[in-house]
Amino acid sequence: MVTSHSQSLQHTEAQERHRLLRVTSYDVRLDLASDDATFESVTTVRFTSEGGPTFVDLKPVSVSSITLDGRPVDRDLLDRGRLPLDTTPGEHELVVDAVMRFRNDGEGLHRSVDPADGKHYVYGMSFMDAAPSIFACFDQPDLKAPYTFHVRAPVDWVVLGNGAATNPEPGVWELATTQPLSTYFVTLVAGPYHLIRDEHDGIPLGLSARASIAGDLEKDADELFTMTRQCFDEFHRLFSIRYPFGDYHQAFVPEFNAGAMENPGCVTFRDPLVFSSRVTRGARVNRATTVAHEMAHQWFGNIVTPAWWDDLWLNESFAEYMGNRVTADVTEYDDAWVHQAYARRQWGLNADQRPSTHPVAGNGAVDATAALQDFDGISYAKGSSILKQLNARLGDEVFFAGVIDHLTTHRFGNATMHDLFTSWEKAGAGDLSGFTSSWLRTAGPDTVTLDRAAGVLRRTPPADHPADRSHRLRIATAGGGTWSSTEVTLAGPETPVSVGDAPVVIDPYEDSWGVFLPDTTTVQGLKTLLPSITDSALLASTWNAVRSAFHQAAIDPTDVIDLLEARLPIEDTEFTARHTLPWVFSTVVPLAGADALGRIHVAALARLHAADAGSELQLAAFRTAITASTSPDELRAWLTGDLPAGLERDVDLRWRILVRLAALGATDAAELDAALAEEPTGVSRVEHTRARASLPTAEAKEFAWARFTGEVDVANYELVAAGLGMWRGGQDELTAPYVARYFDELPATVSARSGWVLAEAAEAFFPIGALSEDTVARTRAVVAQPGLDPSLRRRLVDQADELERRLAVRTAYPQA
């Protein structure tokens, strides 16, 4: 039996099932040893019912048997992932014996083969609606229950999960019964993983990764364990509640879609976070904040879980705020907030300005699929910023007293935003209704600009989402070679300011949430001043102001290149190269004139030659020089000859050069295939796909397209890499036919994939470089199609908005 696409759980259905049922326990037996494509799953669910019809969620390949209280249930009743049940009042036992499919899309029980050694690895990702493809369950966040897993696996495998694992005999693993968990937290990690164990404050700690990157994990283990210890101590201090889930294992797994997942007892991370090539500090800060983010979830999300997906922002916004705060306060990465400004601010601001914007809270998630569409920069970056504002308003004493009350009152249960704000008000916060209404329940950001002629700072709420928000922020003003900051409260439409003709950065330390645009005087002044900014937070907010201006077609692309050209040769942090430059390459350069890339290349080489040998700045500048190079001879010399002292041609740099050569048409499929065969790592496999798709040949574009349509089935990372490689500037004649094909064939990709990867592939293959009103019209025509998958519709709405914004820039600032 193969079920068709499942139905998305409606909120009303979840409420009714929660009213009817209480789940007592899950006992799950999995056989991972008998087949590479499928696994046997036997689930015993014990629950009580008020009596009446309900359903259990199940997505099998086939079903061997189903019994309810010992009586057979007709297997043919299973329809689109749901098995209807008629229950009487009282206790029940449901047993489902089914065969499930291993997946390669990063959801359910994902199985992959490491190209480095041919070994197989498995991990579980149950988020949103993937749990029923592993075991039968009542799949919604507010039906928590303890879990006990029994696993049969190949004898050379290790098995880990939410409960502590024991191995009583070869190939047999028993996992301890967990605390009550929501279905979406359930995980299993199985395979010939390399394990490292430690302990801190009575908590068993663990790390694991594929055998082929064991050496890299060993090199990083001390740093990872040190950060974990520091974060545990700080979270215990702040919350006064000990971590309650037993072991704390951090598993780095292949082909993971998200950055990480906070599964209690066994957090899963994407394994590129185990660094197999040399990285800069920015990559390490990103990893540190990710580690701290997932640890924060153990309290906010895991001890207390949202009752429904429309409060998922509470999990992510809180973990985002606490992860950055704790990283900055207690680890070596005290610049975590600067990293956050570069890496996350624009993600949230852009999402908040799209037609698809939504409130942080109460976003109207009528079903699970709709909720997933709002799992975005608003849920993370905007919500985090607003919690940071709330903390500044309340102070730590009241803020954490409310959090502790919330976690204690609803321990191992579910709660809502109302419950949390009730706890804060009980702790002394006062009436927060005005705050929640204007900041959390109203979508869109205010735009704040300086009107020099009128001598005022002006606030403009979004036309479609009016709100009367008060901003408490600072203004940084340049003068005499230095910058000074002044506190300003913007409580109405405008407030007086006096800055003369000095360049000004509004909200330089990101005290508030909004779009803060630089005026022309500031932009021109920054071309001289930008190189002298030594305050890293001010520098980050300056670049964010530039990016916001570009997003609103309020700055000339050539001015952006001027600013980059001024700053890059003396850049003293690689955050610019890591976060600002990718945006410049993808978005600004195509609109900035023919010489833009060359100017960036010259500036990058200047920074490269001035940087200390072996420094992170040298590495960041070299990466930029590769991306900006238009000289095959230069790239070939870097690929095969001597590199500047302090640089090593590791797997990352090698493939960066090969991908750039491919985009320029200066290599071919044979050379790329040979490079993969010479060094067949997971990184190489993904970058080989990106390079093959980047070649300016008809064969290369068909290679990529076969992956988009599902004609060639590849894992998630390779699929996205093919899309990103396909649309290269200067290859318009080759890619032009695929613009129409994209819109014609996109809706049918639901037969090839689902969930997260369906939407990721739609965005990766979107013809964003086909900048025309016709592309916008085609996009909107597909959006209007009835029955289009909601995740596809959301991505297309956002891409249409991005196209229109880039067209607005081109119209406002046409290049000669």
Q: Which active-site residues does the annotation give?
A: 294
Q: Is 783 exposed, middle or buried (0-12, 13-18, 19+ CB in 10 A)?
A: middle
* Distances, alpha carbon 659 to alpha carbons 224, 448, 525, 680, in Å: 31, 41, 37, 16
Residues 6+ apart with CB under 8 A from 355: 797, 798, 801
Residues 6+ apart with CB under 8 A from 756: 105, 106, 107, 257, 258, 372, 716
Using alpha carbons, select from 569, 261, 488 the residue that is nearest to residue 505: 488
Helices of type H across 530-556: 536-551
Compute CA distances 672 → 469, 631, 633, whole Å: 55, 18, 17
CB atoms within 10 A of CB 712: 14
In single-letter form, the type of residue at position 775 comes to: T
Report how far residue 805's alpha carbon sits from residue 548's, in angstroms, rounded to the nearest whole number.
11
Q: What's the CA gap between 158 and 389, in Å, rounded?
A: 45
Contact (Cβ atoms closer than 8 angstroms) between residue 3 and residue 59 = yes
Calpha distance 796→766 (Å, rounded): 8
For residue 111, list its beta bridge partners.
122
Residue 777 contacts by C-beta under 8 Å, 6 or more apart in sequence?
none
Q: How far apart are alpha carbons 495 and 456 in whole angstroms?
A: 5
Contact status, residue 442 vs residue 359, Cβ threshold 8 Å: yes
Q: What SS3 state is found at 770? A: coil
Long-range contacts of 257-260 (CB under 8 A, 24+ apart): 257/105, 257/106, 257/107, 257/125, 257/716, 257/756, 257/757, 257/760, 258/127, 258/756, 259/290, 259/293, 260/290, 260/291, 260/293, 260/294
Name, in order, each residue with C-beta under 8 angstroms of 192's C-beta and a sequence gap of 6 or more. Answer: 119, 120, 121, 156, 157, 158, 211
Residue showing tokens 């907030």: 337
Sequence-ordered list of residues with C-beta below 8 angstroms from that of 637, at least 6 positions apart, any chain: none
Q: Which residues contact 298 (CB under 8 A, 6 or more apart)?
A: 235, 243, 245, 248, 262, 264
Question: Could you give phi then psi for residue 203, rounded to 5 degrees?
Answer: -105, 115
Give how far Cα 25 sits from Cα of 2, 217, 763, Å. Answer: 27, 36, 40
Alpha carbon separation from 332 to 127, 289, 320, 327 (Å, rounded): 32, 11, 18, 8
Q: What is the CA radius of gyration of the chain?
A: 27
DSSP string, 697-757: SHHHHHHHHHHHHTSS---HHHHHHHHHHH--TT-HHHHHHHHHHHHHHGGGGGGT--HHH
Instruction: Name the strand (E) or helix (H) holding 676.
Output: helix 669-678
Q: How far is CA 742 from the centre of its chain?
A: 25
Listed in order, strand segments (DSSP E) in 308-419 are: 413-415
Q: In what order do the strands lie in the sheet with 203-209?
A: 194-200, 203-209, 248-253, 266-270, 260-261
Quick check: helix, strand or coil at residue 109?
strand
